[in-house]
Chain A
Amino acid sequence: MNHPIQLLRVQDQQVVDAILTEVTEKHLEDAKTLWEPLLRGSQQEDEYWNWLRKSRQSKILPGDELYAIECDRLTQGLIMLDILKKRCQIQSQLRRRLVYVSALATAPWNRSAISYPPIYKGVGGNFINFAIARSTELGYHGRIGLHALDDALGFYRKLRIGLLDCGPDPEEPDNLVYFETLRQNP
């Protein structure tokens, strides 16, 4: 699967073509060899994430899927979806199926806190759009859910896709804020 997408190259403000694809060894290798050294000591919330382990986990646990965004022959972002094990929490769609975004990260060089100016913009948004498309494809009517990291709250609140801020989740060990897309019942 190679899904064409577009990113904004910040340096010259050009829209460039990229692909969103199923994760390969090369993407995981990029995360290990290129991302991890930049994240080390950065105090970023995903500093200790290990995408290789997440990939192993996705092979063991049913319903887990991993995708990457590739541009300029480098891995620009990674996402892990759970298409099976989670259900909606909002009353009007309670227990309906959704696509849960288990993990999402953009490459360190795309974050202003690490690399200013960042290289590409649009990775996170394209991933969220893809999660919604995957949900629609599965017959879940575009419903997605996720627990946002603290620094990314502004991003999820600003996305114009009907993501509702449901507040800190008391069942979540880190009390992360839960977001869910609200859809009219079919």
Chain B
Amino acid sequence: MSQSIPSQFTNDITQHKLLMELIEAEDAANGEVGCGRDLGKNLSVYLNTYGINISGENLRTLLREHLGNLLMERDFDSITTQVSRFIESKAVQANILSKHPQHLQAVTETVVKHIAEDELKGFFQAELGEFCSEAILEQIIQFTHQVVYKAVLQPRHTWPKPIWVLKTGEKVYVAQASSLEDAIAKVKAQYPQETGILEVLTVKGVLAPDQVISLDRRMLLGNIATL
């Protein structure tokens, strides 16, 4: 006669195992688990001024109109994020500067302007004119020109394939591939003797085309995530 293990018991064992795995991960960082950025002391100023920003969708429309043949939505994401963050920082800075006047740093880099100056000026004046001084508007316009220029120089779809760093046992493999599956397939094809389970140490080239790979010695010794 066979006897089944009560499901509650197996659930308890699974739950306990899961908890122990989570704790093992926490121990790897000495209990430090924090994530997220914080505007710190500037947050209250930011909250007072958070309404001072552009509509991401309006900027996206403008970008599509002028750069739709060169860039893609993923590039527009990046441009919109960068411009919004710049405006956010300027709104906070302006609020602080109004109490402690200083000279604003001018943007001096020369860039090719892919959107006509007048059109960009009209856009930002309509969106931010009532909140921002001419000097700050000018900085936002110049910053936007810079970001668009950089995006056009290297649109996301032209970025090289990401670089995957994989580990198994004593071996570390570095493979350039569009996806993890492709990276593993390349390793297996070029090193058929490799039969171990490949674990990802890191992937670079996802957030920027020219990311430097930096490996922590502890990562090589085994403190890594399994996918």
Contacts and interface: CB of A to CB of B under 8 A. Distances in A.
B35 interface: yes
B227 A162 contact: yes
A95 B31 contact: no
A83 B180 CA distance: 26
Interface residues of B, number: 61
Secondary structure at the A interface, as helix, strand, loop or mixed, is: mixed
A71 interface: no
A164 interface: yes
Contacts of B178: 91-92
A67 to B, nearest CB: 14
B88 to A, nearest CB: 10
Nearest to B216: A153
Interface string B197-216: 00011111011100101101
Contacts of B213: 167
Contacts, number: 203
B203 to A, nearest CB: 5
Interface in A8-57: 8, 15, 44-46, 48-50, 53, 56-57
Contacts of B133: none
Contacts of B179: 91-92
A41 to B, nearest CB: 15
Given A124-B33, A164-B227, 15 more contacts: A8-B19, A8-B23, A48-B40, A49-B38, A89-B206, A104-B35, A122-B23, A125-B26, A153-B29, A154-B25, A158-B28, A165-B200, A165-B202, A171-B78, A182-B180
